[in-house]
Amino acid sequence: MRCVSERIRLIGWSIAAVVLAALSVPWFLWGTDTVAVGLPVWVWWHVGWLCLTAVVLRVFTRTAWGLGVEGVGGDG
């Protein structure tokens, strides 16, 4: 059972990693030149997204550290 839930957690965190990387560039704002509070909005999106990334990484280190790395590879 433990193995199954490990696998689900690993898949979940992998998806989270891909989403964090994929949306750090606001593709949906391509071509937009709106400015808010002194900087283009796409810069603000990026700033916010990287702050979110930091929070997610922090949660990861607290709750899932070692997942997929410890006890893997080699014979294991």
Partner 1 sequence: MAEVGLQVGIILGYVAVALAIGVVAYRLTERSAEDYYLASRTLGTVVLLFTTFATLLSAFTFFAGPNISYGAGPEWILVMGLMDGVIFAILWYVLGYKQWLVGKANGYVTLGEMLGDRFGSVGLRVLVAAISIFWLFPYVMLQQQGAGTAIEALTGGVVPYWAGAGGITLFMIAYVALSGMRGVAWTDTLQGAFMLVMVWVAFVWVASAAGGVGSATATLGDVEGNFLALGGGLYTPQYVLSTAVSIAFGITMFPQVNQRFFVAESKAVIKRTLPLWPVLVLLLFVPAFMLGAWAKGLGIQAGPQENVLPLLLAEYTPAWFAALVVAGAMAAMMSSSDSMLLSGSSYFTRDLYRPLVEEATEQREAFLGRVGVAVFATLSFVASLFQPATLLEIGDTAFGGFAQLALPVGVALYWPKTTRWGMYAGVGGSQLFYLASVFLAVVPRSYLGGWSSSVVGMVAGLVVTVGVSLVTSASAEEDASVCATGAD
- Tell me which residues touch partner 1 (CB under 8 A): 17, 20-21, 24-27, 29-35, 37-40, 42-43, 46-47, 49-51, 53-55, 57-58, 60-61, 65-66, 68-76
Smallest gap from residue 12 Cβ to partner 1 (A): 14
> Tokens representing 9?
């957690």
**C-beta of 8 vs 25, nearer to partner 1:** 25
Shortest CB 55 distance to partner 1, Å: 7
Nearest to 13 by CA among 71, 57, 70, 72: 57
**Alpha carbon distance 62, 14 (integer Å):** 16
User: Side chain identity at 26, as an amino acid letter?
Assistant: P
